[in-house]
Chain A
Amino acid sequence: MFDTIFEFFQRLMGKERENTRTTARERLRLVLIHDRSSVSPQLMESLRADLLEVITRYMEIDSGNMELMLERHDGSVALAASIPVINIRRTPVPSAEPAKRIKESEPVDKSDAPKPVEAKPEEEIKAERTTTPPAAATVRSRRRKAAQSASAIAKKRVKKSSGKRKKNRP
């Protein structure tokens, strides 16, 4: 009873303006990470291939036991890679492909740790998803972009930015 009255007054005063827009945007963003990766296994496959290519330039790995997955946490999604390392090279093997690829993968060679690297802050992910590519190129670039950015890192964390999410999870 009091709750209803209180609510009524809150509404009257315009205090019910909880920002559901950001909640909606965040929930969508997270759910689409999953939708896209599960709907398009090719995307994860091509990411795996790209990662393998880059990492083997720095270390010898057991590619048969490489695991790559998107892990759902409370309010966040992380790309987790478990890659058994057999040996680390003293100097990187130069890439077969020139220029662009190498540049993109630079963050990786800075780390000499054999374990998965925590990299790229969330802003970067956001930026990739919010830039609108030119009309014609839109579609294919969306996938390629995703694969490229992911190939540069071993582990990415998407932080949750809204406290409301917890409630909405099953």
Chain B
Amino acid sequence: MSKVFVVTSGKGGVGKTTATANLGAGLASIGKRVVLVDADIGLRNLDLLLGLENRIVFDLVDVLDKKCRGYKQALIRDKRFESLFLLPAAQSKNKDAVKAEQMKELMDELRKEFDYVLIDCPAGIEGGFRNAIIGADEAIIITNPEISAVRDADRVVGILESENKSKISLIVNRLRSELVKKGQMLSIDDIRGILSIDVLGVVPEDHKILFHSNKGEPVILDKFSPAGDAYRKIVKRLHDPGEPHEEIKQSKNGGLRSFLLKLMRSTMEKLEKGAS
């Protein structure tokens, strides 16, 4: 049975587009037919993260305005996965070019053809956001362990509820477990407690995200990236909700480095004790 997800956050820059690209690639890698819809009209970005920016001919607004023959003409096939497609956002048009009803119709058309439709939502809670959520069955909220991002997430949850979209899950992105341990960053439990929604996954802060976005490759393909690892787990869980959770124990950042860090920390603590 196919599913339409909207990836949304309220606050900008928390990682929606990165999440959409990676979940799409992950689902395609296990053989699912996936289409990614870039609903961030005027701020097209998903194409860049997938390295498909040079192949765009038609876009979402062309499809909705019937400037091309159906959505199929606007779809771009991914370089790596046969079954992954992108429907790019319009870059030149303004976002009022889209009507909610048209979006809903298009999503219903897409769901006939694909196992998963993932909509990359623009930041904010205005028109663009409304258009992005209207055709979705479920929402994936992305947030950062930071008060403003969590507050905005709460607002978005409230709006989704009032639109009767009650299937909502959460991805906490850019977690730094060392800061949580030091009592300097909100933990997953803190955030889960405050928002009271299901946690789908936790993605650690990872410099490899930048490395891969520079190249236009989803980080989920990198076997050695902690963020990639987190996305792989989320994909499993999306595909099979029974998949066990091991989130709360955060990415162990490998051997020597963490050993040295621990050593340093304990030395400091000793020094500190000695001083007081």
Contacts and interface: CB of A to CB of B under 8 A. Distances in A.
B148 to A, nearest CB: 9
Contacts of A40: 158, 162
A130 B193 contact: yes
Interface string B131-169: 000000000000000110011001101101110001111
B186 A24 contact: yes
B209 interface: no
B8 interface: no
Contacts of B157: 139
A65 interface: no
Contacts of B192: 132
B151 A138 contact: no
Interface string B185-209: 1110010111011100000000000
Contacts of A31: 147, 151
B183 A143 contact: no
Given A20-B183, A20-B184, A139-B160, A28 B147 contact: yes
Nearest to B272: A13
Given A13-B275, A17-B182, A22-B183, A138 B198 contact: yes
Interface stretch (B15-23, B223-231, B263-271): B263-271
Chain B interface residue bracket vs A: 35 or more
Contacts of A25: 186, 190, 194
Contacts of A138: 166, 168, 196-198
A62 to B, nearest CB: 32
A70 to B, nearest CB: 16
Interface string A121-141: 000000001111101101110
Nearest to B179: A21
Name B's interface SS.
helix
Interface string B164-176: 0011110000000
Contacts, number: 91
A96 interface: no
Interface in A3-29: 12-15, 17-22, 24-25, 27-29
A142 interface: yes
Contacts of B196: 129-133, 138, 142
A69 interface: no
Contacts of A19: 183-184
A14 B269 contact: yes
A39 B155 contact: yes
18 contacts: A12-B268, A13-B272, A20-B185, A21-B180, A21-B187, A24-B146, A24-B147, A25-B186, A28-B150, A31-B151, A35-B151, A35-B155, A35-B158, A131-B196, A135-B167, A139-B161, A139-B168, A142-B161
B151 to A, nearest CB: 6
Contact of A32 (B154, B166, B168, B269): B154
Nearest to B148: A28
A89 interface: no
Given A35-B154, A135-B198, A139-B197, 18 more contacts: A20-B184, A21-B180, A21-B185, A21-B190, A24-B190, A25-B190, A39-B155, A40-B158, A129-B194, A130-B196, A132-B193, A132-B198, A133-B196, A138-B168, A138-B196, A139-B160, A140-B166, A142-B196
